[in-house]
Chain A
Amino acid sequence: MKDSVRRISIAFLVAFAVLSARLLLVGVLRAPYLSAHPRNPRVAALRRDIVRGGIYLSRGEPVAKDSAPGGPRLYMGPPGLVHLTGYEDERYGTAGLEASYNSELLGLGRESSVGSFARNIFAGGPARGNDIILTVDIGVQRAAERAMGGRRGAAVALDPRTGAVLAMVSNPGFSAGQISSEWERLVKDDESPLFNRATLGLYPPGSVVKPIVAAIALSSGMVSPEDRFRCEGAIRVGTRADDERAVSCPDGMAHGDVDLAAAIARSCNVAFAQIGWRVGREKLYNGLRSFHFGVALPFDVPTAAGAITAGGVNLDRAAVAQISIGQGTLVASPLEMACAIGAIGNGGVMRRPYVVREVRSPDGTELRRTSSAVLRVPVPATVARRVKDMMVEAVTSGTARAAGLPGVRVAGKTGTAQNPHGAPHAWFVGFAPAEDPRCAVAVVVENGGSGGQVAAPVAREILRAALRNTLR
């Protein structure tokens, strides 16, 4: 009997040790998450006494800040940026950066996790949260908003050398300050004004994927710049003789014998279907993967993953042809397209996109600064340079002429993406100056029609604003 009592004693000891470990887990490891949880009533109590940190653009222009401790919160930012910066509302919670940087804005950051409430609520310590400073440039942002002109769609501009977002527009928008009174209308609106199209909107990219496919083709070694592809206006993509499915060029135009550069400049679908087949489904799929297609981008607010296929590499001939011209199952967000095309401009190096440049304490000290990081290196620099030249040609003499700017070499590609929701989406992706890009853009105008006529001018205005210091 002694032995069994002793064993029970040991079992109890183990059980109490497990309990202590659990207490450590909840009270220490999960404490930062739990203490900043939006549904924690202590956070709400804290909020009532604190000046929530502000959100500022790159040169200190305020976007959101508290008028007094506990709010109300004032929003004064550019209206097109509202999805990115988001809102904070007592009833409807937080969204955008207001959500993802909630604990920083409340001053519950990493340096003050344990026992921070005591300091904040009672000791009269920092009654202010931390400020966050964005990379967004007010000039580029305003130009993007003006050029979009309220049309449904999205525009993203970023610095491909660092990944810093310079401008981000999603239309239609909403007023962050009026979220509680407008909520009912906003959630019922068919145009989904609360939805951040720039990061979460998934569109078939259409022809703007062609520079990416060209880069994959060149780096795969299956296609060389001298190879020529015959275009007779349309090509059958089925495997069987009675399969009538075909890929055709706009208006059935026959481009004749085209090389890669001409196929990009004139956006030849028939040539790209053949290029896709030449590369092969596996290399095409993996190539797109390496450009981060089908995988959610790491970013300061949630991003949508997009998709290459409905599942797996098992593509038939027709699907390979469709994906090669940016149709079929391929969908991507404007942010993804900006990053991918930025990689072409940046010598094949894809930078991790970011928009929060730094976190500052209320007294102005820098607490954290985001450092630029390489996300992927999808293609070698030589390949990126070749594709870049082809994109320059598309702007100087091809379909993307409307994006041209005087005195600067612009590289670009238009897209007119077929979709099941009506008129095609107008797309443009590009960067400038071509020799050392400082700005990469992706523009989509929903059901806007021709990319060359609708999206390219928007991109041109964004690039003009981004390069205003060097332009005459």
Chain B
Amino acid sequence: MTRDTRDAAWSRRVPSSDDTLLATALLPGMLGMLMATLASGKLERSPGWLVLAGFSGVFLACHVLFGRGRRVGDPVIFSLVAFLSGVGLAEVLRLDPGLATRQVGHLAMGVALTSALVAFTPDLRVLERYRFMAAATSCVLLASTIIFGVEAGGAKSWLDLGPVAVQPSEAAKVLMVVFYAGYLKDTRVLLRRSSRRLLGVLLPDLSYAGPLTLMWGLALVLLVFQRDLGAAVLFFGAFLLMLYVASGRASYVLGGAALLAAGGAACSWLFPHVRARFIVWLNPWRFMDSAGYQTVQSMFAVAAGGLIGLGPGRGMPHVIPAAPTDFVFAAICEEMGLLGGFAVIGAYALLVHRGLFWASRARDDFRALLAAGMTSLIGLQALTIVGGVLGLVPLTGVTLPFVSYGGSSMIASFAAIGLVLRAAREEQEEQEQEQEGGRVGVEG
């Protein structure tokens, strides 16, 4: 198959506009919000109606503004984000209507940011120029939390700005991936060339291994000073995956993972709070009154849901600690059942698949790396927290992207997905131009 026929076949597969796709994605969340509102008992002047209207309004407005999804980059990704946001908002509404009202505001800001990125970014390659500035900003943001940060939930990753508290590490993650993409594009040719072997493993030249160890160091600093295991895993994990994309060397990823494991082992040996996380993960039941409480309560909630769940408003998700934020997945499983849980996991799997699909299609290396990095960031974050909630991996305090309550996380996730959508749109635009050029060529 030639490239052209493949592209033609592919463009037939991508719907140019699909109202039903978005409607289907919005429906579960809207039904959930409706059920939560009905279950709350106060139908008049319930904040549920406002939340329901705000949620559907935000996504429909964006849909309409982008030519009914035609110009949004990828209507599938956009719809998946709408689905996840809706399910999350429904559960947050059921847990705390006040939070849900604010979450609608976060969603509006997030969708606006995504829209701006998709519509007004002149060209993603412009971002490449600012890669070092992105890295510097990211480091400053991280440093600010280390110096001025306040502790919440074991991690010292919050900045208290009077009326609002923000989590700068959320923005730092996205900025850091921008830097990774720029840096790896520069060095990718060099990274692929390897000169030495150690025990049969290809080793990069020391000068190129430098950034790898630097990133490793950064992850450890996060771990130690911020007590933020989750952020450490995300920063380093996204970097490793992007390094693999750039170099095609599995040995880098394995070596990097080994470094992280070694660093983690050293930290758990040196620092009791890191060690406690691992011990609790191995057997939460032994610590069900102390450090294992969250995990055990979350498993109780997941088990209570059954296949279809108890319905929003009918379970007891209030007893799960941090239910609207880190443990929102457990609350969803309790009230929307295993089917709800599988739907959320499936939505992430599709989202990641779609994002990486655009990365693999991108003809520009920076664009590919950026799309792959942002997608991996979201995918890793979902894996980390859902795995933690289900006791599969040690528990880390990260949010479930698009689902958990939280302004910083919501806006950062929308920024990340906005860049993926922008990459998709640029890809499509370039292709259209090529096709037009081709037609002109044939005609002339």
> What residues of chain A have their CB less than 8 Å away from a CB belonging to chain B?
1-9, 12-13, 15-16, 18-20, 22-24, 26-28, 30-31, 33-35, 37, 39-42, 45, 114-118, 122
Contacts and interface: CB of A to CB of B under 8 A. Distances in A.
Contacts of B386: 19
Given A26-B299, A31-B303, A41-B319, A9 B352 contact: yes
B299 A34 contact: yes
Contact of A16 (B248, B349, B372, B391): B349
Nearest to B320: A41
Contact of B296 (A22, A39, A116): A39
B316 A45 contact: yes
Contact of B303 (A2, A34, A45): A34
A45 B317 CA distance: 13
Contacts of B341: 23, 27
A1 B365 contact: yes
Interface string B343-378: 001101100110011011000010010001000100
Given A31-B306, A39-B296, A117-B315, 17 more contacts: A8-B245, A8-B356, A9-B357, A12-B349, A12-B379, A22-B390, A23-B341, A26-B302, A26-B391, A30-B303, A34-B300, A34-B302, A41-B319, A42-B304, A42-B319, A115-B307, A122-B310
A35 B353 contact: no
Nearest to A116: B306
Contact of B359 (A5, A33, A42, A118): A5
Contacts of A7: 244
Contacts of B302: 23, 26-27, 34
Contacts of A28: 338
B245 A5 contact: yes
Contact of B246 (A1, A12, A31): A1
Contact of B390 (A23, A33, A122): A23
**Residue of A23, A24, A39 most packed against chain B (CB within 10 A):** A23
A65 B390 CA distance: 37
A183 to B, nearest CB: 19
A27 B305 contact: yes
A111 to B, nearest CB: 14
Nearest to B308: A115
Contacts of A27: 302-303, 305-306, 333, 338, 341
Interface in B369-420: 372, 376, 379, 383, 386-387, 390-392
Contacts of B314: 118, 122
A442 to B, nearest CB: 36
A23 B342 contact: yes
A12 B315 CA distance: 31
Contact of B304 (A16, A20, A35): A35
Contact of A42 (B316, B338, B365, B390): B316
Instruction: With a 10 A CB-CB cut-off, give which of A2, A4, A18, A28 has the most chain B CB atoms.
Output: A4
B245 A1 contact: yes
Interface string B281-307: 000000010000000110110111111
A1 B248 contact: yes
28 contacts: A3-B248, A5-B368, A5-B372, A6-B360, A8-B245, A9-B352, A9-B356, A12-B383, A15-B383, A16-B349, A19-B392, A20-B342, A22-B390, A23-B302, A23-B341, A26-B302, A26-B303, A30-B299, A31-B304, A31-B306, A34-B299, A34-B303, A34-B304, A42-B319, A115-B307, A117-B310, A118-B314, A122-B314
B241 interface: yes
Nearest to A16: B349
Contact of B372 (A8, A22, A37, A122): A8
A15 B378 CA distance: 13
Contacts of B245: 1, 4-5, 8
A26 B247 CA distance: 38
Contacts of B304: 31, 34-35, 40, 42, 117
A41 B391 CA distance: 19
A105 to B, nearest CB: 19
Contact of B316 (A12, A30, A33, A41): A41
B352 A12 contact: yes
Contacts of B305: 27, 115
Nearest to A2: B360
Nearest to B392: A22
Interface in B304-341: 304-308, 310-311, 314-316, 319, 333, 338, 341
A103 to B, nearest CB: 13
Contacts of A114: 306-307
Nearest to B383: A15
A5 B360 contact: yes
